[in-house]
Structure 1
């Protein structure tokens, strides 16, 4: 009988897959990063407990083209600064990806808030334009001109915070207690340039990032970097405390039995 491809993999095949994953080469990306100070009350409002604000109400958008073998990937992240148990990092609200392959692993393994979307980074000489778009709306646009090279930073370690959960089968709460994940990345940069420009946030009922306005622009850069990624569950969190924030993960409010956004039909 011909092999049934939905059938079980052998122990040798499973071991080979794990071994190959552990030996991945450096994967480089070209990305635009913008950081700004926003409304401190708005930043605090989007943080589910036990995450807390840090001293500055920082927001960061990262818009990258990733040089994956075989096909390019557009990857974005819109995050706010946060802290947990003495660790400072970033809490992403939405992470648009251009391919399902990147979507599935991040959501199912780490609990990342990834969604299919359009991610573009364009450079024409010194002029740079980067966008995140979904449902026909470019809800974030970073635009400007390269104004000089920056010294390369030392390799650094960065932490993102994710909540991993599954909505309950019966539509009430979760199937099990949600968990808080610390996702740690060791990052290396091989090129970095300053951009003089601005950040445009456009209204979207699906991705309401306009609620976190640019009060003071800290920096915009374009660079080439690579990083690894590993995560760990640090604690189980209160289902009751997390439930009011679960709508952040979905476009259709009915998926979590929430009320529709104001002004929607």
Structure 2
């Protein structure tokens, strides 16, 4: 019989998938950091995350040179702290391919969604966009001013909540997990950009609630990173439940229950 590809894999195949060494994957992207409304930052952070000393928001819009096809990847995050650890809490992470969604969502709990991601450079002019449902909810425009010194490789922490909505529509199947994802980032090119960040109203991606009060940093760079995650703690399900709509386009989705059989119908 020919091999049935949906059949069980051997131990050797499973081990090979886990231990495969991947080459560095480089991305070209725009990163903007700004001061925003401190009350808005506090409002979007589920416990036990708390605001840091500065109310910061950050957008990262990149084109990733994956072998075989490029990937558009974005992240819109706010500064957050878990105990003594400071990092970023992403609210939405648009990706242009399904493959990039599944691993991040299912393994780490990343809030990834299918979307449109654009990074364009024409001479010194730069434009980067995150769009979903026909709305370009983030746009960065600017002019490259010149090179910047390359930073040393440094770890950066993102916070994610990993959970599964309950089968019966009442909360979660199991305790939600707070994940620390640490990335060791290397930069081979970095340029200063003078420009602006435009946030547009979107019912599905309401990042406009975190306005640009003062733009602090805007750069264009070529970077690569690895990542490792760990479960920092199990979190209180009732405390997280009011924030779960951040993950879904329809905020009622978390409360969906299985369809009820009509009266007299068979199971």
Q: TM-score range by the shorter chain?
A: over 0.9
Alignment partner of 1:184 is 2:182: yes
> If you compute each CA radius of gyration, which structure gives the higher value, 1 or 2?
2
Q: Among residues 229, 237, 240, which one is paired with 1:242 in the alignment? A: 240
- C-alpha displacement at 1:182, in angstroms? 0.1
Q: 1:261 — aligned with what?
A: none
Is the partner of 1:207 in helix, strand or coil? coil
Q: 1:262 — aligned with what?
A: none
Q: Mind listing any 5+ residue stretches in structure 2 that lack a counterpart?
A: 257-267
Is the partner of 2:252 in helix, strand or coil? helix
Which 4+ stretches in 1 moved above 6 angstroms?
A: none
Q: 1:43 — aligned with what?
A: 41
Alignment partner of 1:17 is 2:14: no
TM-score normalized by the length of structure 2: 0.95
Rounded to whole Å, the distance in 2 between the matches of 1:91 and 1:31 is 19
Q: 1:222 — aligned with what?
A: 220
RMSD of aligned residue pairs (Cα, Å): 0.8
Per-residue CA deviations over 1:77-112 (Å, capped at 9, x if unaligned) read 000000002000000000000000000000000000
Q: Mind listing any 5+ residue stretches in structure 1 that lack a counterpart?
A: 259-265
Rounded to whole Å, the distance in 2 between the matches of 1:254 and 1:240 is 16
- C-alpha displacement at 1:24, in angstroms? 1.0
TM-score normalized by the length of structure 1: 0.96
Rounded to whole Å, the distance in 2 between the matches of 1:29 and 1:186 is 14
Rounded to whole Å, the distance in 2 between the matches of 1:64 and 1:8 is 36
- C-alpha displacement at 1:144, in angstroms? 0.5
Per-residue CA deviations over 1:43-86 (Å, capped at 9, x if unaligned) read 11000000000011000000000011111000000000000020
Per-residue CA deviations over 1:142-187 (Å, capped at 9, x if unaligned) read 0010011111111111000000000000000001010000000000
Q: 2:128 — aligned with what?
A: 130
Rounded to whole Å, the distance in 1 between the matches of 2:209 and 2:117 is 21
- C-alpha displacement at 1:257, in angstroms? 2.9
Rounded to whole Å, the distance in 2 between the matches of 1:10 and 1:250 is 36
Rounded to whole Å, the distance in 2 between the matches of 1:157 and 1:137 is 33
Superposed counterparts of 1:121-160, under 5 Å? 121-160=119-158
Aligned length: 256
Rounded to whole Å, the distance in 2 between the matches of 1:254 and 1:162 is 21
Per-residue CA deviations over 1:19-53 (Å, capped at 9, x if unaligned) read 21xx1111100010000000000011000000000
Superposed counterparts of 1:78-89, under 5 Å? 78-89=76-87
Query: Conserved in 1, the CA contact under 8 Å of 2:245 and 2:252?
Result: no
Rounded to whole Å, the distance in 1 between the matches of 2:184 and 2:15 is 25
Rounded to whole Å, the distance in 1 between the matches of 2:144 and 2:192 is 6
Q: 2:111 — aligned with what?
A: 113
Rounded to whole Å, the distance in 2 between the matches of 1:49 and 1:85 is 11
- C-alpha displacement at 1:206, in angstroms? 0.1
